[in-house]
């Protein structure tokens, strides 16, 4: 993502001067989305503008303190405004985050190796199925329920532990990169019977393609909580370059709580300068068909 960096100095009315970094970045997207749920179909305009603000300052001891927040507005997606803030402290490979945390499962390698179409088209290719703590772009996220996480990385190894008062969740992910392949494993304890219990993923380059295989045990298929059914979820995804500026992504997914096997395909064409033409189509696990087409520009 191309970022506009306002690296400035914050003058402090003391004997010293503290250097602070303020980074603005984000993207805009607009286009059309088609939905057919088997009973009704519609063609609608879809759009989103996201402005992300990252701020940080470094102490004399070399500890970086910072925060991230976003402003987001989107056609048909409800909330508009600033989201909950994630605060952090980072040093020597350790990072502690509080508030609107990333979430160990949400940030796990293999969960979002593709980004289908312009809008995500249902995200059936995310095996943990949002059944864990996650960073919210348009809401408070875990900033209202004591979200906390610890991230540690050294060389090719990374560990991520997160916890919150949402269903008393605590999750841990460990990942390792070896010879271009990333392997990850996760466990989670939660009071919600249909939350993810454990997950595995492996991803890397196989010939001309990036491939990813992810599996999540999201409770027992006989469990239902607030209308949400538990069960296993498995995803095979891939991305292929078909030229210097164009790639194709595809996935197939199945879950105990799907009525049908889910699958989809898209294309992304880089038009230069941070702009791209994107579109895709997916048949979702609830037997809904979605398709989209539009433009995205990063800044």
Indicate which CATH number applies to the domain containing 152.
2.40.160.10
Alpha-carbon gap, residue 292 to 278, rounded angstroms: 8
Tell me what pLDDT residue 78 has.
60
Tell me what pLDDT residue 263 has.
98
Alpha-carbon gap, residue 271 to 274, rounded angstroms: 7
Tell me what pLDDT residue 76 has.
65
Alpha-carbon gap, residue 26 to 49, rounded angstroms: 8
Tell me what pLDDT residue 2 has.
39
Tell me what pLDDT residue 205 has.
93
> Per the confidence metrics, is the pTM higher than 0.85?
yes
Tell me what pLDDT residue 77 has.
63
* Tally of residues, the chain: 299
Residues 158, 161, 162, 168: what is their CA dihedral angle, to the nearest 10 degrees? 150
Reported in sequence order, the residue ranges of 37-85 that DSSP labels E, i.e. its strands, are 41-58, 64-74, 81-82
Tell me what pLDDT residue 202 has.
98
In this prediction, the residues of the chain whose per-residue pLDDT falls under 70 are 1-19, 76-79
Query: How many distinct structural domains can be found in the chain?
Result: 1
For 268, counting Cβ atoms within 10 Å of its Cβ (0-12 exposed, 13-18 middle, 19+ buried), the class is: buried
Domain of 238? Answer: 4-298
């Amino acid at each position: 993502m191309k970022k506009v960096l306002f690296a400035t100095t914050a003058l402090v009315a003391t004997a010293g001067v503290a250097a602070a970094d303020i980074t603005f970045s984000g993207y805009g997207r607009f286009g059309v989305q088609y939905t057919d749920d088997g009973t009704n179909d519609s063609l609608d305009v879809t759009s989103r503008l996201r402005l992300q603000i990252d701020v940080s300052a470094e102490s004399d001891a070399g500890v970086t303190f910072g925060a991230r927040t976003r402003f987001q507005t989107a056609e048909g997606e409800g909330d508009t405004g600033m989201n909950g803030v994630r605060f952090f402290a980072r040093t020597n490979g350790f990072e502690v985050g509080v508030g609107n945390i990333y979430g160990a499962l949400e940030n796990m390698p293999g969960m979002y190796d593709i980004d289908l179409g312009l809008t995500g088209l249902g995200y059936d290719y995310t095996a943990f199925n949002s059944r864990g703590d996650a960073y919210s772009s348009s809401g408070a996220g875990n900033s209202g329920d004591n979200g906390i996480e610890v991230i540690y990385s050294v060389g090719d190894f990374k560990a991520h532990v997160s916890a919150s008062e949402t269903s008393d969740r605590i999750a841990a992910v460990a990942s390792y990169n070896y010879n271009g392949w990333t392997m990850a494993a996760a466990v989670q304890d939660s009071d919600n019977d249909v939350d993810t219990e454990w997950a595995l993923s492996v991803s890397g380059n196989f010939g001309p393609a990036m491939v990813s295989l992810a599996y999540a045990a999201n409770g027992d298929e006989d469990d239902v909580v607030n209308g949400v059914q538990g069960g296993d979820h498995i995803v095979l995804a891939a991305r292929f370059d078909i030229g210097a500026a164009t790639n194709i992504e595809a996935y197939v997914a199945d879950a105990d709580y799907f009525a049908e096997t889910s699958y989809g395909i898209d294309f992304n064409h880089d038009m230069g300068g941070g702009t791209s033409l994107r579109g895709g189509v997916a048949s979702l696990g609830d037997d809904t068909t979605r398709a989209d087409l539009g433009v995205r520009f990063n800044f």
